[in-house]
Amino acid sequence: MISTDTVTEKTKSRPGARVSVVIPALNEERHIGDCLASLARLHSAAAGAIEVIVVDNGSTDKTVDIAESFRHSLDVRVIRRPGVSVSAARNCGASHANGELLAFLDADCVVPEGWLESAGAQLALPGCGLVGAFYTLPAGSSWVATTWAGHLSRVPNGEVSYVGAHNMVLCRSVFHRVGGFDESLQTNEDYEFCQRIAAAGLKVFACDAASVIHLGTPQSLGDFFRRERWHGRHVVKVFLRNISKLHNCRAVLFAVFTLAAVAAMFVGIVAAMAGGSAVLAWASLLAWFVVSLALSVWSMRRTRTWGRVPPLMILFLTWGLARAVALVDTALPSALLKRKWESRHS
């Protein structure tokens, strides 16, 4: 949750700042200019009722310089917090905020006109605690981006289980009421945060009119793999915190299945090279392909766009492999720490 040193930081009051936009950033020189330019247009239209807080996580490129260049057109501050988790960066920005509303935005996202008005109108509904939206793809996106975005089941408007932290708006009082983002989480922190919003008796709503363009959407298989490997790092951690709630259950099960299938294939290949049977290797490969194909067909059952099944199957195979590697990434540090502790106390 919010660390003690973050909560106690004080800032000067900025009267008139109704909305505080918090943007965590790390080496975002490619996109942050577009992000801030879109906010500058809103800032001008809202007569200065928007403040922007960029929390730099130790950028070594021109991210900070670009952000500070917007001081003439935007009420923007840059706060340096190198080496912290993205959750801690967001909490830090929130601690410096003066607005009644907090809007969390990623540095590679561009907001549309009416972004805050649409989110604010939804937030005013009874029982609503948090508003967000699924992202929109940039123009000219590749088959990787369009295929993956097309299969995701999303509710354009209405109550949902969670929204991404790349675009979420809520009252500052609600943010502090639930304790902010969990700073021990580097990924999946937005899902966990939304679960605490729901546990507090509030609803999470999607508002399609508040959708932002995600310029950093992976456009190649390599980028897609790297993103999903990164996102999967703490998915298991959130799952294990409360297994009975089955948070992230399907993602964890598919990652475990993929890891088992790949491990079995490796064992089967070794056995075949040693003169044994290759049945295990072929059976494991077939099982991995069949399950990925079944997921692809299931995803396309509503739209019946069967032509998307083959490319989606490729993405499911890649996604499963990335999440399987994320399991290993998560398990190895834990095992190494345990071994180090045992060696010290043996």
pLDDT score for 185: 85
Residues 6 or more apart whose Cβ sits within 8 Å of residue 72:
none
Judge if 212 and 255 occupy the same domain: no
* In a shared domain, residues 284 and 320: yes
CB atoms within 10 A of CB 38: 19
Distances (CA, A) of 206 to 122, 159, 160: 8, 6, 6
329 shares its domain with 202? no
Q: Which domain holds residue 322?
A: 243-341
102: CB partners within 8 A, 6+ apart: 19, 20, 22, 94, 169, 170, 171, 172, 175
Amino acid, res. 252: V
Q: 72 and 155 in one domain?
A: yes
Q: Is residue 310 situated within a structural domain?
A: yes
Is there a single domain that holds both residue 13 and residue 154? yes
The DSSP code sequence of 6-49 is HHT------TT--EEEEEEESS-TTTHHHHHHHHHHHHHHTTT-
So what's the pLDDT on residue 276?
A: 85
Q: Domain total for the chain?
A: 2
In a domain, 237, yes or no: no
Domain contains 307: yes
Residue 327 counted as domain residue: yes
Give the CA distances from residue 318 to residues 59, 86, 298, 340, in Å, rounded to whole numbers and listed in that order: 29, 25, 17, 33
Q: Which 3 state secondary structure label does DSSP give 76? A: strand
Amino acid at 12: K
**Six-digit token string for 143:** 């088959």
Q: Assess whether 177 and 304 both reside in one domain.
A: no
DSSP 74: S
Q: Tell whether 290 and 150 lie within a shared domain.
A: no
CATH of the domain at 74: 3.90.550.10
Residue 187 lies in a domain: yes
Position 344 scores a pLDDT of 41
Q: List Cβ neighbours of 56 (8 Å cut-off, separation of 6 or more).
A: 25, 26, 63, 64, 67, 78, 79, 80, 81, 82
Whole-angstrom Cα distance, residue 74 to residue 97?
15
Q: Are 284 and 265 in contact (CB under 8 A)?
A: yes
CA count, 13 A, side-chain hemisphere, 240: 8
Give 3-state DSSP helix, strand, coil % of the chain, rounded to 5.
55, 15, 35
Q: Is 298 exposed, middle or buried (0-12, 13-18, 19+ CB in 10 A)?
A: exposed
So what's the pLDDT on residue 241? 64
DSSP per-residue string spanning 159-196: E-S---TTEEEEEHHHHHHHTS--TT-SSSHHHHHHHH
- Where b means 16+ CB within 10 Å and e means fewer, 202-228 reads bbbbbbeebbbbbbbbbbeeeebbeeb
Q: How far apart are CA 169 and CA 116, in angstroms?
A: 8
Q: What is the pLDDT along the chain (346 residues), one digit of tens a residue?
A: 654 333 333 333 333 458 999 999 999 999 999 999 999 988 665 656 899 999 999 999 999 999 999 999 999 999 999 999 999 999 999 999 999 999 999 999 999 998 999 998 999 889 999 999 989 999 999 999 999 988 776 777 889 988 999 999 999 999 999 999 999 888 889 999 999 999 999 999 999 999 999 999 999 999 999 999 988 877 766 766 666 665 667 888 899 899 999 999 999 999 999 888 889 999 999 999 999 999 999 888 877 888 889 999 999 999 999 999 988 887 665 444 434 434 443 3
54 closest CA partner among 103, 6, 8, 7: 103
Q: For the chain, report the end-to-end CA distance as a whole number of angstroms.
A: 34
Same domain, 137 and 284: no
Residue 330 is assigned to a structural domain of this protein: yes
- 46 lies in the same domain as 183: yes
As a whole number of angstroms, the distance between CA 5 and CA 230 comes to 27
Q: Kindly state whether residues 23 and 158 are assigned to the same domain.
A: yes
- Are residues 264 and 328 both part of a single domain? yes
- Mark whether 162 and 28 lie in a shared domain: yes
Residue 223 lies in a domain: no
Choose the final residue of a domain: 185, 218, 251: 218
| Phi, psi (degrees; rounded to nearest 5) at 302 | -80, -45
Q: Is residue 228 situated within a structural domain?
A: no
